[in-house]
Amino acid sequence: MADTSCGDTRELLPDVALGIADAGEWTAALAHAESCAPCREELRRLSDTADGLAALAPPVEPPPGFGERAVAALGGRQPVPARTRRHAWRWAAAAGVAAAVAAGAVAWATTGGTAPPQRAVLTGQLISGGHTIGDVVLVETARPHIITVHVQYGAADGAIRCVVVDAGGRVLPVGTFTLNGGWGSWTTAVPAGGRPHEAVLTNRWGTVLAKAVLAPAH
């Protein structure tokens, strides 16, 4: 990728500092700042200003009872080590895959095959803005494949779309799913296509929210 100039980068730094640059601008600006001390320092100063600005949102008293509910949810507990909590749902993902594989095995058994079909398990982390927000596990079976997605995307409620892009660039629609409090988990079938390459989550208007590059599980 060609490096951007200081002039181009300086133009983008306010957007990067405010967190409103798009992915391409973000990547280009950070790649340049990585090797340019003056631009890096300018970004640091603008980021400090942007952070201070974000903190100026006027305080608003929440509805009655909020504080009590929050304390009840938090109080007197030690946080579970992040690794355990962050990965707890991956165990659920593994359980989902086990169920999916079992379902596939049952389907094979009832169709009277003589040998279990060859299966590969592909996995990938859903990345959004440089952060991992979930996991995808895709089990290649005799068609259709089975995909399990677990996502924790902010605290949002709403619909989220999932597609799989195969190695030939063909887009295979998986479905539209609902997030509750940012949490969503589903297992479903993937339409027939080429070798799955990438799982993509979008909002209902098509804006890409997260992607996971799929690779064979180790």
The residues of the shown chain that bind another protein, judged by CB under 8 A, are 11, 14-15, 17-20, 22, 41, 44-46, 48-63, 66-67, 69-71, 73-79, 82, 85, 153-160, 179, 181-182, 203-204, 207, 209
Nearer to another protein, 102 or 180 (CB): 180
> Which pairs with CB-CB distance under 8 Å and at least 24 residues apart come from 32-41?
32/3, 32/4, 32/5, 32/6, 32/8, 33/9, 35/3, 36/6, 36/9, 38/6, 39/6, 39/9, 39/10, 39/13
Nearer to another protein, 100 or 179 (CB): 179
Q: What is the nearest approach in angstroms of another protein to the Cβ of residue 212?
A: 17
All residues at 6 or more sequence positions from 113 whose CB lies less than 8 Å from its CB, including other chains: none
Q: What is the nearest approach in angstroms of another protein to the Cβ of residue 60?
A: 4
Dihedral over alpha carbons 152, 154, 157, 163 (to 10 degrees): -50
Nearer to another protein, 131 or 218 (CB): 131
Nearer to another protein, 79 or 169 (CB): 79
Q: What is the nearest approach in angstroms of another protein to the Cβ of residue 65?
A: 10
Q: What is the nearest approach in angstroms of another protein to the Cβ of residue 150?
A: 16
All residues at 6 or more sequence positions from 201 whose CB lies less than 8 Å from its CB, including other chains: 126, 149, 151, 153, 160, 161, 162, 208, 209, 210, 211
Q: What is the nearest approach in angstroms of another protein to the Cβ of residue 176?
A: 11
Nearer to another protein, 139 or 212 (CB): 212
